[in-house]
Amino acid sequence: MAALVTMRINDKGVSEAIGFMLIFGMVIVGIGLVTLYGYPLLLQQQVSADEKIMEKNMIVLQNDIKSLAYKAVPFKETSLKIGGGSLTVYDSSYSTPSSTIEINDNGNNPYIPPFTPGELRYESMSAQTDIALQNGAVVLRRHVEPGSVMLAEPRWFFDSATNTVVFNLIKITSDTIMSKEGIGTVQMRLVGEPSYSAAPPIPNGQAIKLVYTPTPSGGRQDYSVAWDNYIIKTFDNPPYISMTKSGGPPGSGTPVTYTLTNNGSSDMTLVIKIFEVNIKSL
């Protein structure tokens, strides 16, 4: 009996080495599974985090531009981290601008020369998304979809009490072509005094024509859907303004004309201000 009992609790056959290998094997299999499935998920998370951070950074830069333009501060700089893509500045005179804006009177005579805003654009490598800071607005465009969305709005407005339409156009320029990845500092300064166009008053029944021409190549840099939504939201103000839209549709790469007819009892005042912001360095 005593011998049997000893047999039963005898653990001399248990090998620590084999046990260790079993445990080690399990650990290795675990690590393998995580690498195979978990890590790609994590990377994807990282990409979307990078994109979110850049959306935020663009709004920070937009705030800098607002300070320069509307508070007439001469210089601003912001340090930021550009992850998962690159930030590039496109001068206002870039050969294929993402948009051209014309503001004409009733008889299609222009108030200002055709305006190309230039832009600061973040191009994500993996998320297939572009975020652009153009004309004071932050717009986002996914490559695979024809639509685009405005994350932060520019300061165009209609004041119904004084029947005034205000366009604040912001032109981004740079002396050289610049692009940046990783950590960088965006330095920008206000160039000169804003150009101010005082148009003659627009009587009842007359109209302002705003023509938005997206990039001629169509494709990835067409932000016309975002701008279309914004323009309709801002200026379609019955009974003061009756707005009609022709051309387009937005997103197809063709120009869209917005006709803003003065329906108010008083003359409409049109104010167009153009601010020039120079990107000194990225």
From 2-10, 38-46, 111-119, 215-223, give the range in contact with other proteins by CB under 8 A. Answer: 38-46
CB of 160 to other proteins, least distance (A): 9
> CB-wise, 118 or 136, nearer to other proteins?
136
- Which member of 86, 105, 146, 155 binds other proteins (CB under 8 A)? 155
Dist CA 97 CA 155 (whole Å): 21
Q: Could you tell me if 172 and 134 are in contact, meaning their C-beta atoms sit under 8 angstroms apart?
A: yes
Considering the rule CB under 8 A, would residue 76 count as an interface residue with other proteins?
A: yes
**Using an 8 Å Cβ cutoff, are 138 and 132 in contact?**
yes
Where b means 16+ CB within 10 Å and e means fewer, 173-204 reads bbeeebebeeebebbbebeeebeeeebeebee
Q: Is 76 within 8 Å of 64 (Cβ atoms)?
A: yes
- Contact flag: residue 120 with other proteins (CB under 8 A): no
Shortest reach from residue 237's CB to other proteins, in Å: 13
* Choice from 67, 229, 242, 252 touching other proteins (CB under 8 A): 67
Tell which one of 44, 93, 108, 164 touches other proteins (CB under 8 A): 164
Residue length of the chain:
282
Q: For other proteins, give the closer residue by CB, 163 or 213.
A: 163
Q: Who's near 121: CB < 8 A, 6+ residues apart?
A: 87, 88, 89, 90, 130, 131, 132, 133, 134
What span, in angstroms and rounded, lies between the C-alpha atoms of 175 and 238?
44
The CB-of-66 to other proteins minimum distance in angstroms stands at 7
| Segment lying near other proteins (by CB under 8 A), choices 59-67, 95-103, 108-116, 219-227 | 59-67
Which one, 152 or 218, has the nearer CB to other proteins? 152
Q: Exactly one of 21, 22, 73, 232 binds other proteins (CB under 8 A); which one?
A: 73
Which residue type does 191 have?
Answer: V
Smallest gap from Cβ 69 to other proteins, in A, equals 8
Other beta carbons within 10 angstroms of residue 231's beta carbon come to: 20
What is the pattern of x (binds other proteins, CB under 8 A) and - over residues 79-118?
xxx-------------------------------------
Strands 75-90 and 119-124: antiparallel
72 contacts other proteins (rule: CB under 8 A): yes
Q: Tell me the residue ranges of DSSP E strands in 153-266.
A: 157-159, 164-173, 178-198, 207-214, 241-247, 256-262
In contact, 111 and 197? CB cutoff 8 Å:
yes
H or E, element range at 17: helix 16-33
Q: Which residues from 195-214 bind other proteins, rule CB under 8 A? A: 196, 198
Taking the complex as a whole, how short is the minimal distance between the CB of residue 80 and other proteins, in angstroms?
A: 5
Interacting residue ranges for other proteins, rule: CB under 8 A = 16, 20, 27, 42, 45-46, 49, 52-53, 55-60, 62-63, 66-67, 69-81, 152, 155-157, 159, 161-162, 164, 166, 168, 183, 187, 189, 196, 198, 271, 273
